Amino acid sequence: MTSMLYAPHQCTASPEEELTKMLAQKISAALSIMGSGYILALVGGKWRKKKSSVDPYQRIMAMYSVYDILFSFFFWFMGSWMTPTETGWLGASGNTVTCSIQGFAHSAFGLGSILYQMLLSLQMMLLVTFMWTPRKFAEKVEFRMHWVILILMIIFGSIPLFLQGYNPTCGQCLEYPLPVWCGDWSFGDGTTECVRGNPTLGNIYFFLGLFAVGVTTLFCTVAMIVIYRTVYNQEERNSRYGFAGNNEANHSQSKRIRKSMLLYTSSFYICWILPFALWYVPMLMAQPALQVIAYALAPLMGFLNMMVFIQPKCIKYQKDHPGTCLVAAYYRTMFSIPIKLVVGLWGSAEQTEPSNHTPADDDDDIGFGSYNEHVLVAEGETAAAQISG
């Protein structure tokens, strides 16, 4: 292979622009890795202290964070460092093997991330709209879906490995043939012969990627609208007939889930839909500043997820400390949680006597451990009283 195979076809950015984009994506990827790692540490600390205190929502976010860390590190943070040295792109220091590893990370872990985004939306919709409990969701959906997602992403990421389908283009290794303009496919000229990969495979994976993002966007948007309508209808009924006790507490949780759903879906729009538009809409592709913005936003998913995940603790901190702004609450919470985790883990290691534990303890501001449990119990008791009466 000669360097001509890696000619920067459609990569017209100047060295200064390439450096700016590379720095933007690496900084954002580092923030994402730290954010996802924060979620993992938080959930892992709870799991180590008491496994039953970790509910499906927290397990989903933990696995989401695992795949986001792998995706952010190998694809966004390593970037051109994993592309073959002979490409001549800024920072290129890899070879064919490292290029294939990065391509696998893009396909497999990228798919895993968006599937967990859908699973998160599905859980929230089933809890709020269909009155499922976290326990029911875990038994009927969650545990199976962890395996389904793992198998799907391994298959999806492995197929191009056997067909030499991962090749460098514009400083990253994707499911494209080499050179990228070879063959008769979306980016091909129809005349150049491909040295590696397959134009048909490139087309299939390109459109599968667009399809997966499109389906995820549609599903999460519909779930968000359904949840919003459900909570709105609850508020209408409550304003007419009033509520108290367990119903009031459950409705408060419903509003919290609605808010979380809105924020998680908005984060997905920011990190997936907006960069896609900036990369593939012709009038936007030619704007260097917009390309830098796209490369800065795309890797941020883990960081934004972390901001949403710990938001209930930040709001609680504001209530406990009147006059504290949300930014200060985030700052205090982000630094206090790790300290409390370490102290808690140290204390649990030395604890010898069992402690009293109730299902309500599992919620601890960030979980949905007892959501719908008390309401269903209350409804059952009311129905039994009506029958006996």
**Full pLDDT tens readout for the chain, 389 residues:** 445 666 544 566 677 888 898 999 999 999 999 999 999 999 998 898 888 889 999 999 999 999 999 999 999 999 999 999 988 888 899 999 999 999 999 999 999 999 999 999 999 999 999 999 999 999 999 999 999 999 999 999 999 999 999 999 888 999 999 988 888 888 888 888 899 999 999 999 999 999 999 999 999 999 999 999 999 888 887 777 665 555 666 777 888 899 999 999 999 999 999 998 888 887 777 788 888 999 999 999 999 999 999 998 888 888 888 888 988 888 888 877 665 655 555 555 454 444 444 444 445 578 887 777 665 444 444 333 343 44
Instruction: Decide if 13 contacts 21 (C-beta within 8 A).
Output: yes
Q: Tell me if residue 231 falls in helix, strand or coil.
A: helix
Provide the pLDDT for residue 374. 60
- The Cα–Cα gap between 36 and 38 comes to 5
What is the sign, positive or negative, of the torsion defined by CA atoms of 213, 217, 223, 227?
A: positive
Provide the pLDDT for residue 316. 87
Total residues belonging to the chain:
389
Fold of 28-309: Rhopdopsin 7-helix transmembrane proteins (1.20.1070)
pTM for this model (two decimals): 0.87
**Residue 370: strand pairing partners:** none
**Cα–Cα distance list, 158 to 103, 112, 184 (Å):** 10, 13, 23
Provide the pLDDT for residue 10. 54
> In this structure, which long-range contacts are made by residues 209-213, counting pairs with CB atoms below 8 Å and at least 24 apart in sequence?
209/110, 209/175, 210/276, 212/111, 212/114, 213/114, 213/272, 213/273, 213/276
What is the sign, positive or negative, of the torsion defined by CA atoms of 103, 109, 110, 112?
A: positive
Please state, as a whole number, how many other Cβ atoms lie within 10 Å of the Cβ of residue 210.
12
Provide the pLDDT for residue 354. 45
Residue among 314, 223, 310, 304 at smallest CA distance from 263: 304
Residue among 263, 254, 313 at smallest CA distance from 46: 313
179 prior amide bond cis, ω within 30: yes
Provide the pLDDT for residue 101. 97
What is the sign, positive or negative, of the torsion defined by CA atoms of 192, 193, 197, 203?
A: positive
- The Cα–Cα gap between 69 and 383 comes to 48
- The Cα–Cα gap between 46 and 199 comes to 48
DSSP for 256-324 reads HHHHHHHHHHHHHIIIIIHHHHHHHSHHHHT-HHHHHHHHHHGGGHHHHHHHHHTHHHHHHHHHHSTT-
- The Cα–Cα gap between 304 and 271 comes to 9
Q: How do the domains of the chain map onto residue ranges?
A: 28-309
CA dihedral 45, 49, 54, 58 (to 10 degrees): 0
- The Cα–Cα gap between 187 and 205 comes to 13
